[in-house]
Amino acid sequence: MALKKYKPITAGTRWRIGNAYAEVTTSTPEKTLVEKVKSTGGRNAQGRRAMRYIGGGHKKMYRVIDFKRNKHEIPAKVATIEYDPNRTAFIALLNYADGEKRYILAPQGLQVGMTVVSGLSVAPEIGNALILKNMPLGTNVHNIELQPGQGGKFARSAGSSAQLTNKEEKYAVLKMPSGELRKVLINCSATVGVLANSDHNLQSMGKAGRNRWRGIRPRNRGVAMNPVDHPMGGGEGRSSGGHPRSRTGKYAKGEKTRTLGKGSDKLIIQRRNGSKLAK
């Protein structure tokens, strides 16, 4: 991916570092694969605000993505690489040999005109989807299933991938993007490659208005509020606010958030901080 640094001809472009969209080939989505999505503004079904700091933003359509990759043994040609406003990664439009069209998450190196295929034992090449059992060790994969046939759940954001490090009788061991070592059923499928748009996190908005276009409203700091509004508010002058915590008083740092005795504990070999879960 290529980044574009803007010349400071306005205050908004002085600090802006944007995406050059060098890989994107079209700006018009496939009409048969888009659906309406309604912006909630953070309101629930009763019309009351349930989430703060959400509202406005540009209208957008939802692109229907094929996370299951269940058209087996049918080759598909890559027609376009597109931007998707609903996710950080790019998407690719596939034209299957039988005439069907589908969107998939686009890995790095996938180009227009290339052919991809899914199946139980297809070649482990970029963009192909197959089960972990038939992949060589060291393969980088994304869009990983948790249960066979469920559809990809892991490693779906820009630049992310997991690495296949080991195979056991029933499980494959993956090194997740967080560094966690985790077992996944060996008959689950995944797509080969690292997802595109890896420099997404290096972009700089440049001005507050670009976040408003994304539907993100200004967020008030707790230390700038009054004690009646936030546990960190109040005090004389600019006080630190004490230990960081949420509006309801829950500690923001240091408190463990994972449920004790969770069913998937037995599948995690090593946590992302390097510690091993007690058996």
The answer to whether 232 and 225 have CB atoms below 8 angstroms apart is: yes
Q: Which residues pair with 152 in a beta bridge?
A: 145
For residue 279, the model assigns a pLDDT of: 53
Q: Which of 35, 245, 66, 82 is nearest to 143 (CA)?
A: 66
Q: Could you give the 3-state DSSP secondary structure of residue 100? A: coil
CA–centroid distance for 31 within its chain: 23
Q: Quickly count: other Cβ atoms within 10 Å of residue 1's Cβ.
A: 17
The answer to whether 116 and 78 have CB atoms below 8 angstroms apart is: yes
For residue 1, the model assigns a pLDDT of: 60
Distances (CA, A) of 51 to 174, 241, 247: 35, 23, 13
* Percentages (nearest 5) of helix, strand, coil residues in the chain: 10, 30, 65
For residue 256, the model assigns a pLDDT of: 84
For residue 273, the model assigns a pLDDT of: 80
pLDDT tens-digit map of 121-143: 899 999 999 999 999 999 999 99
* Run means of pLDDT, 10 residues per run, the chain, 279 residues: 91 95 95 95 96 96 97 97 97 97 97 96 95 96 96 96 95 95 96 96 96 96 95 94 93 88 92 73
pLDDT tens-digit map of 184-230: 999 999 999 999 999 999 999 999 999 999 999 999 999 999 999 99
For residue 70, the model assigns a pLDDT of: 95
In whole numbers, what is the pLDDT of the chain averaged over residues?
94
Q: Identify the residue whose tokens are 């946590």.
A: 271
Name the superfamily (CATH) of residues 3-200+259-270: Nucleic acid-binding proteins (2.40.50.140)
For residue 278, the model assigns a pLDDT of: 53
